[in-house]
Amino acid sequence: MDDDWKKRPRIIEYWPDGADYVMGMDESGTSDLVTIKRKLSSGKEDEIDFSMKDFTLTGVVVDQNRYDKLKEAVNTVKYKYWTDGMSLYKNRQKRVCFHSRDIRKKNFPFNSVEPSELTTSLTEMIQSINAKIISCHVDKLAHYKKYTDWAIHPYHIAVQFILERYCKGLNEGNKKGIVMLESRGKKEDKFVLDYIVEIIDNGTNFYPSSHFKNILGGLKMKTKVHL
């Protein structure tokens, strides 16, 4: 496979040829340190709450068989509450996406569903899925207070941690895998992609580039993945 994906990520629509595993990655919280730095410099550390300081990046690893079962399990819940898993939004039918913030805030389309019932369905669905989870949490406040202006970007810390462990599993089984990320915008996508490519091409402080050889060319991104 060519290396064009290293310049521009490709959209995933079907299971890619040659891939034994896919790892979908998503984040919780914001990864920047700007707010932390501003609050500390102005003596307002007491105003820094969990929403400002906590950043988590998580990867969910599945093979093709488990991916199909995951898709079926997610769609079963969607079809239970919405016809064909779709809901009318601004005169347009859109596939329902389980975004945690919208569920908690009872935003559309979750305003028409009994919260406790949906939570039970989602919990049972997650418990039924056989997948490997690799997650990294960064306390941005502690991180910045320790390293100040030398602090590494939290996203870089997290993605390095996850890729190292993802590739350890691939290498042990002599398997190939890809990484799938949500597309958030041209600038943001490039920031993420450039660092992942740097890791694959040059390795990290702990692993040489050969450790990442089983990540297939063809990093995929998609605007809000809908199963």
CATH for 183? 3.30.420
Q: Identify whether 211 is part of a domain.
A: yes
Listing DSSP states for 135-185 in one string gives: EEEEEHHHHHHHHGGGPPPHHHHHHHHHHHHHHHHHHHHT--EEEEEE---
Lookup: tokens for 193:
């992609």
Q: Identify whether 76 is part of a domain.
A: no
What is the Cα 138 distance to its own chain's centre? 15
Range of the domain at 56: 4-70+130-222
Q: Number of folded domains in the chain? A: 1
Rounded to two decimals, what is the model's pTM? 0.85
pLDDT in tens, 198-208: 999 999 999 99
pLDDT in tens, 168-219: 999 999 999 999 887 777 777 788 888 899 999 999 999 999 999 999 866 6
Q: Identify whether 163 is part of a domain.
A: yes
**Nearest 5°: phi and psi at 143?**
-65, -45
Q: Identify whether 215 is part of a domain.
A: yes
Q: Identify whether 110 is part of a domain.
A: no
Q: Identify whether 116 is part of a domain.
A: no
Among 134, 205, 137, CA closest to 170:
134
Q: Identify whether 121 is part of a domain.
A: no
